[in-house]
């Protein structure tokens, strides 16, 4: 809370970015932190709400008012402890979370929300800088063994919690390095990989074993794990991308976003590339899909030196300002511009792709049409094409960033015979995270479908508690 009248006295101030022409020259993070004084004032804006909407607005239920207060009272060390109480990786969320907490902040109803994410980031970075972040080594070992398949945010959070509860945990990752989506999906300019590495170091100290290059169900049978471990957690992500099955889809130069992004991350990380280069350098890039992955494609393309970058979205353009009385504290549909979009982009909405056009087997553009959206009688959105609205967009690199439909079923899932829900995700509930097969647990995007990193962390933590209960009969791990 800091200061009861802080919100009346201080304006919201947030971190700034390096200028665009500077930051486009490299793949490093480009956020400039607030000064400590300013940060303290920003913490003082928190109103210590009797009903803190941010608490439930945040998927991991971060104790936001508590650490705002501690920052205002200049007690960063306790703030760090409180922050870690609900979140294993605030250094990740402090960088890449869209911050639903800020949308739900009570101050957002009447003016600008508290800079929650900035404060979170500052607390944890201060903690690393001061050496306050330490491994939490379990005081007793249970002797139980748990395997976690997948080292994305859900898998890592789950593994860390289980290790802290005293279990022997092994994490299996099919890629060469640990981190899953964090390492391969998110560009370095948003999340430098050293952030993951230091967490891996921490987890190693806590007793977690990591097994990269282990594609369970492919390079190593699941049965092997099932035999050797007391519990097996599937945190395999939701990796099957949504495709755009229109004429011309087979043309060269049309790629799924993740192929493009992962390759760039490997390149920055000095890994050997298995596939041919996908580079935007000197190209007209078209990004289909208006979400975060789309933005990452834009930022990467601009850094490659694309001639132009265009982004289209099938939905209509959202309003610039939401009607807060009807949306707060929920996440509102409104026009947002990401830092990558700021770096140079043409955006268009209500565009439907009818076919890709190409020359010599390589894409050159696409034919598209305008659509209109209306609401059906039962409240569902309906799309209609606007007659005679066809138009062409020029492109020689098309990146499909339209989301992910469900986890990969070949391999581990198929081998285990796990049941799926109607959407093709692994079936398990949020009470006990149990898969349909004994001793199997499922969490993260693989269970809930594609979502935010912060949701993945929540699922990993809760799943760990469920596993702990399963293994020992009860659990002291927080829900």
Partner 1 sequence: MQARQGLYDPRYEHDACGVGFIANIKNRKSHAILAQGIEILHNLAHRGAVSADPLAGDGAGILIQLPDRLFRSEAERLGFSLPEPGAYGVGMVFLPRSAETRRACEAVIAHFVAAEGQTLLGWRDVPVDPSVLGDSIRPNAPVIRQCFIARGANCVDADALERKLFVIRKQAHKELRARGLPDSGNFYIASLSTRTIIYKGMVICERLAAFYKDLEDERAESALALVHARFSTNTFPSWELAHPFRYLAHNGEINTLRGNINWMMARRHSMTSKLLGADLDKLWPLIGDGNSDSATLDNCLELLVAGGYPLPHALMMMVPEAWSENPLMDPDRRAFYEYHAALMEPWDGPAALAFTDGRQIGATLDRNGLRPARFFVTDDDHVVMASEAGVLDVPEERIVRKWRLEPGKMLLIDLERQRIIDDDELKAEIATAKPYQQWLDQTQIKIESLPDEIAPMAPPRAVLLDRQQAFGYTQEDISFFLKPIALSGEDTVGSMGRDTPLAVLSSRPKLLFDYFQQRFAQVTNPPIDSIRESLVMSLVSLVGPRPNLLDLETGGKHIRLELHKPILTNVDLEKIRRIEDNTGGTFRTSTISICYPAADGARGMRAALDAICTNAEQAVRGGHNIIVLSDRLVAPNRIAIPALLAVAAVHHHLIRGGLRTEVGLVVETGEARQLHDFCLLAGYGAEAINPYLAFDTLSALRHEFDKELSEAEAHEAYIKAIAKGVLKVMSKMGICTFQSYCGAQIFDAIGLGADFLDRYFTGTVSAIGGVGLDEIADETMRRHRLAFGDAPNYRDALDPGGDFAFRVHGEAHAWNADTVSLLQHAVRGNNYRKFKEYTRLVGEQEKALISLRGLLDFDYPADPVLLAEVEPAREIVKRFATGAMSFGSISWEAHTTLAIAMNRIGGRSNTGEGGEDPQRYKPLPNGDSMRSAIKQVASGRFGVNIEYLVNATDLQIKMAQGAKPGEGGQLPGHKVDDWIARTRYSVPGVGLISPPPHHDIYSIEDLAQLIHDLKNANREARVSVKLVSELGVGTIAAGVCKAYADHVTISGHEGGTGASPLSSIHHAGEPWEVGLAETHQTLVLNGLRGRIAVQVDGGIRSGREVVIGALLGADEFGVATAALIAAGCVMMRKCHLNTCPVGVATQDPELRRRFNGTPEDVVTLFMFLAEEVRELMAKLGFRNFDEMIGRTDKLKQRTDVDHPKARHIDLARILHRPDVPAGTKMHQCETQDHRLGRALDHQLIAACRPAIEKGEMVVVDLPIRNVNRTVGAMLSSEIARRYGDRGLADGTIRARFVGTAGQSFGAFLARGVTFEIEGAANDYVGKGLSGGRLIVYPPHASKIERDKAIIVGNTVLYGAIAGECYFSGVAGERFAVRNSGAVAVVEGAGAHCCEYMTGGIVVVLGETGTNFAAGMSGGIAFVLDESGKFPQRCNLAMVDLEPLADQDEHIETLEHRGGDLEMHGLVDVVHSLTQSDAKLLHGLVARHAGFTQSPKAKTILANWERYRARFVKVMPIEYRRALLQIQARTRAAERPEVSVAVGAAE
Question: Measured from the CB of residue 309, what is the shortest distance to partner 1 in angstroms?
Answer: 37
Contact with partner 1 (CB under 8 A) among 61, 118, 160, 302: 61
Residue closest to 449 by CA, chosen among 428, 468, 479, 418: 428
With respect to partner 1, which residue has the nearer C-beta, 30 or 53? 53
Pick the binder of partner 1 from 11, 16, 56, 194 (CB under 8 A). Answer: 56
Q: How far is the CB of 341 from partner 1 (least distance, A)?
A: 29
Give the whole-angstrom CA distance, residue 296 versus residue 341: 9
Tell the residue number behind the tokens 């565009």, with chain if given: 351
Quick one: three-class SS letters along the chain? CCCCCHHHHCCCCCCEECCHHHHCCCCCCCEECCCHHHHHHHHHCCCCCCCCHHHHHCCCCCCHHHHHHHHHCCCHHHHHHHHHHHCCCHHHHHHHCCCHHHHHCHHHHHCCCCCHHHHHHHHHHHHHHHCCCCCCCCCCCCCCEEEEECCCHHHHHHHHHHHHCCCEEEEECCCCCCCCHHHHCCCCCCCCCHHHHHHHHHHHHHCEEEECCCCECCCECHHHHHHHCCEEEECCCCCEECCCCCCCCCCECEEEHHHHHHHHHHHHHCCCCCCCCCCCCCCEEEEECCCHHHHHHHHHHHHHCCCEEEEECCCCCCCCCCCHHHHCCCCCCCCCCCHHHHCCCEEECCEEEEEEEEECCEEEEEEEEEEEEEECCCCCEEEEECCCCCEEEECCEEEECCCEEECCCCCHHHHHCCCECCCCCECCCCCCCECCCCCEEECCHHHHCCCCHHHHHHHHHHHHHHHHHHHHCCCCCCC
Closer CB to partner 1, 20 or 110, in the complex: 110
Taking Cα atoms as reference points, which of 218, 233, 220 lies closest to residue 169?
233
Q: Is 409 exposed, middle or buried (0-12, 13-18, 19+ CB in 10 A)?
A: middle
8 Å CB contact between 281 and 306? yes
Interface stretch with partner 1, choices 53-61, 234-242, 265-273, 287-295 (CB under 8 A): 53-61
Restricting to residues 102-141, name those near partner 1 by CB under 8 A. 104, 106-107, 109-110, 136, 139-140
In the list 23, 95, 144, 164, the residue contacting partner 1 (rule: CB under 8 A) is: 164
Residue 69 vs 239, nearer CB to partner 1: 69
User: Stretches 1-9, 195-203, 256-264, 404-412: which one binds partner 1 (CB under 8 A)?
Assistant: 1-9
Shortest separation between residue 7's beta carbon and partner 1, angstroms? 7
Measure the CA–CA gap between 110 and 100, rounded to whole angstroms.
16
Task: Name the minimum Å distance from CB 11 to partner 1.
Answer: 14
Q: Which of 39, 63, 171, 418 binds partner 1 (CB under 8 A)?
A: 63
Min dist. Cβ of residue 269 to partner 1 (A): 33
Instruction: Tell me whether residue 83 or residue 306 sits nearer to partner 1 (CB atom).
Output: 83
Least distance (Å) between residue 165 CB and partner 1: 8
The number of beta carbons lying within 10 Å of the beta carbon of residue 328 is 20
Stretch that binds partner 1, among 2-10, 273-281, 302-310, 364-372 (CB under 8 A): 2-10
Instruction: Identify which range of 99-107, 114-122, 247-255, 418-426 contacts partner 1 by CB under 8 A.
Output: 99-107
What would the x/- binding string for partner 1 be over residues 5 to 24, using CB under 8 A?
Answer: x-xx----------------
Q: For the CB of residue 390, give the shortest distance to partner 1 in the complex, in Å.
A: 37
Least separation in angstroms between residue 8's CB and partner 1 is 7
Q: Which is nearer to partner 1, 107 or 418 (CB)?
A: 107
Cβ nearer to partner 1, comparing 19 with 50: 50
Size of the site for partner 1 (CB under 8 A): 37
**Interaction pattern, residues 319-358, with partner 1; x per rule: CB under 8 A:** ------xx-xxx----------------------------
Sign of dihedral through CA atoms 20, 21, 27, 28?
Answer: negative
Nearer to partner 1, 61 or 263 (CB): 61
Q: Which residues, 445 to 464, sit near partner 1 by CB under 8 A? A: none
**Shortest separation between residue 448's beta carbon and partner 1, angstroms:** 19
* Residue 276 binds partner 1, judged by CB under 8 A: no
Judged by beta carbon, residue 52 or residue 290, the one nearer partner 1 is 52
Min CB(322)–partner 1 separation in Å:
12
CB of residue 140 to partner 1, shortest distance in Å: 7
Of 51, 375, 376, 377, which lies in the binding site for partner 1, with binding defined by CB under 8 A? 51
**Shortest distance, position 55 Cβ to partner 1, whole Å:** 4
Q: Are 441 and 435 in contact (CB under 8 A)?
A: yes
Q: Give the footprint of partner 1 on this chain (CB under 8 A).
A: 4-5, 7-8, 47-53, 55-57, 61, 63, 81-82, 85, 104, 106-107, 109-110, 136, 139-140, 164, 325-326, 328-330, 476-479
């Amino acid at each position: 809370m800091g200061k009861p009248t802080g919100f009346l006295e201080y304006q919201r101030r947030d971190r700034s970015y390096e200028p665009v022409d500077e930051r486009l020259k490299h793949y490093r993070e480009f956020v400039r932190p607030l000064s400590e004084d300013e940060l303290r004032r920003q913490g003082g804006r928190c109103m210590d709400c009797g009903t803190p909407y941010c608490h439930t607005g945040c998927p991991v239920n971060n104790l936001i008012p508590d650490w705002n207060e501690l920052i205002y009272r200049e007690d960063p060390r306790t703030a760090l402890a409180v922050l870690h109480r609900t979140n294993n990786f605030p250094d990740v969320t402090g960088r890449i979370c869209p911050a639903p907490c800020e949308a739900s902040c009570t101050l957002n109803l009447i003016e600008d929300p508290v800079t929650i994410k900035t404060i979170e980031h500052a607390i944890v970075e201060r903690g690393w800088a001061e050496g306050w972040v330490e491994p939490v080594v379990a005081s007793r070992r249970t002797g139980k063994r748990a395997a976690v398949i997948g080292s994305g945010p859900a898998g890592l959070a789950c593994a860390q919690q289980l290790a802290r509860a005293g279990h022997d945990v092994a994490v299996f990752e099919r890629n060469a390095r640990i981190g899953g989506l964090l390492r391969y999906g998110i560009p370095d300019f948003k999340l430098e990989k050293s952030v993951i590495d230091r967490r891996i170091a921490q987890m190693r100290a806590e007793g977690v074993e990591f097994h990269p290059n282990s594609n369970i169900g492919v390079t190593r049978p699941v049965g092997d794990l099932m035999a050797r471990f007391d519990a097996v957690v599937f945190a395999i992500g939701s990796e099957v991308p949504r495709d755009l099955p229109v004429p011309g889809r087979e043309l060269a130069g049309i790629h799924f976003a993740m192929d493009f992004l992962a390759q760039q991350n490997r390149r920055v990380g000095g890994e050997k590339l298995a596939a041919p280069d996908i580079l935007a350098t000197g190209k007209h890039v078209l990004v289909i899909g208006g979400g975060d992955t789309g933005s990452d494609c834009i930022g990467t393309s601009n850094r490659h030196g694309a001639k132009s970058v265009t982004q289209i979205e099938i939905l209509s353009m959202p309003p610039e300002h939401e009607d807060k009385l009807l949306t707060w504290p929920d996440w509102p549909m409104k026009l947002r511009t990401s830092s990558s979009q700021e770096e140079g982009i043409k955006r268009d909405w209500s565009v439907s792709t009818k076919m890709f056009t190409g020359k010599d087997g390589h894409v050159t553009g696409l034919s598209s049409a305008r659509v209109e959206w209306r609401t059906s009688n039962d409240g569902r959105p309906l799309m209609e094409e606007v007659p005679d609205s066809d138009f062409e967009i020029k492109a020689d690199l098309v990146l499909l960033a339209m989301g992910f439909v469900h986890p990969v079923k070949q391999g581990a899932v198929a081998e285990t015979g796990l049941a799926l829900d109607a959407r093709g995700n692994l079936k398990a509930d949020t009470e006990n995270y149990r898969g349909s097969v004994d001793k199997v647990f499922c969490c993260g995007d693989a269970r809930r479908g594609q979502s935010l990193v912060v949701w993945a962390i929540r699922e990993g933590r809760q799943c760990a508690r469920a596993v702990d209960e399963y293994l020992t009969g009860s659990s002291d791990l927080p829900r």
